[in-house]
Structure 1
């Protein structure tokens, strides 16, 4: 497994995470200014969150999810070591030493060599 050290603390936004399943209908809004590969996504229940535009079959308006996605972000402090599972749109699905998992931006991480502590 790939590992990384957190170089900039990260906190999840103050809104509940949402999930979409492959084939689920959603409504896509504006692109994020800081992360243009993300689009504001509203699910059928009316809740919204940022999701990678690449997982949808349209750029704006009504769309269908091409894969499952969970917006959960991982709170992490500087110098914390995380296990990285996979990357999507410059964010990593990571796991901390307590087994908690979620997304963290690549720009908050320093990748470690296999032999690093």
Structure 2
């Protein structure tokens, strides 16, 4: 599936949280704006929002990661077409034409069908 950016999107976090399946993490409060996410601390100096559904509580505020996770957001510009891999909690794991991957908010995307042509590439001012 493909989508087109309705506005520019810039990463909000310089050093996003990452963890691996089986890793123990501390789980905190849920995000009010994005309720599918909770504040997670890896115990290695990294903390951030992560999908609650991808964590299995093991007691005392701890959880085990059920799968690998990377909170990296994709930097993309308005009008750019991206490939969509999977959606979770209002965010899509997306891929730019250059292969760069990361999360984009679903609200910033226009879903395209297979018949939607790509936008023409920006053309330089030629004499």
- TM-score, length basis structure 1: 0.91
2:17 aligned residue: 18
Confirm or deny that 1:69 pairs with 2:69: yes
Q: Which runs of 4+ in 1 moved over 4 A?
A: none
8 Å contact kept, 2:17–2:49: no
RMSD (Å), alpha carbons: 1.6
Unaligned runs of 5+ residues in structure 1 are none
Q: For the residues of structure 2 that align with 1:49 and 1:76, how far apart are their CA atoms?
A: 21
C-alpha spacing 1:19/1:98, structure 2 compared with 1 (3 Å): same
Equivalences, count: 116
TM-score w.r.t. length of structure 2: 0.85
Please list the CA deviations of residues 80-114 of structure 1 after superposition, one character each: whole Å capped at 9, or x if unmatched. Answer: 10011111222111111221100111111010010
The alpha carbon displacement at 1:56 in A equals 0.7
Distance between the aligned counterparts of 1:19 and 1:52, measured in 2? 12
